[in-house]
Amino acid sequence: MLPKKVKNPWNRYCELMRRHPKAFVQSDGLPIITDPFAVSEFANQTGVEIGVIYESPVWFWVVDLVQGPEGLVASERLLPVRKEAEVVAIPVYNDRYFVLVEEGRQVLQNAQLAFPRGEGIPGMSPAQNAAERLAEALQAEVLSYGMLGSLSLDEASGGGSAYVILCRITQPDVGVGDSGLPRLVLCSMDDLKWKIAAGEIGDLVTLGAYGMLAARI
């Protein structure tokens, strides 16, 4: 579904602030100005709308009024509609092979190798979510898991946050992806390092999860 223009951007913005205050935590560097009189004066002087400009089932396109070093400026950002943290699973088969999935990227118009990743599901723990994601993507069961921590995702990666979980799994079903290449890639830690160094793995979330894992080895 395409994003739709919001009829009253400022009212929707105020509603969003009440419902999701963590998305509007003040920063010492660029504090958000929420005084309605200051916002109205800025909009009248510049012709720039402040508030939620567009929204879709996935994103809110927000324009904040912030206090910059040289005065008030409008700053755009995308906020995810979903509330639950995502999950990124690092699957390990036979205590030796890491499993990466070939995933299509619409923005890049190609496929990337990545650790399996899924949206947060209300009422489901990150471990349960990871198990379901791996059963779907790899046709594998989780034997054991360990929580490595969480990543803060930028707008390009979907926004919000993601739990990173190391999962020991049963044998995955490799299969064939849409490109005709193997749908899954199994590689050792050395192979994984080589693929990252060679630029074969460029997914930012996967690189962040790998960095979290490497810091613990």
What pLDDT is attached to residue 106? 44
Q: Which residue has the tokens 């969003």?
A: 16
In the chain, where are the structural domains located? 4-80, 86-214
Instruction: Encode the chain (217 residues) as per-residue pLDDT tens digits.
Output: 677 899 999 999 999 999 888 788 887 778 999 999 999 999 999 999 999 999 988 788 999 999 988 899 999 988 877 667 889 999 999 999 999 998 755 444 456 889 998 888 878 899 999 999 999 888 899 999 999 999 887 655 556 788 999 999 999 987 655 544 447 889 999 999 999 999 999 888 999 999 999 998 7
Cα 33 to Cα 53: distance, rounded to the nearest angstrom: 17
DSSP category for residue 206: H
Q: Which residue has the tokens 């046709």?
A: 139
Cα 150 to Cα 85: distance, rounded to the nearest angstrom: 9
pLDDT tens for residues 30-54? 899 999 999 999 999 999 999 999 9
Tell the CATH topology of 86-214. Nucleoside Triphosphate Pyrophosphohydrolase (3.90.79)
pLDDT tens for residues 167-204? 999 999 876 555 444 478 899 999 999 999 999 998 88
Number of neighbours of residue 202 by Cβ within 10 angstroms:
14
Cα 111 to Cα 115: distance, rounded to the nearest angstrom: 13
pTM over 0.95: no
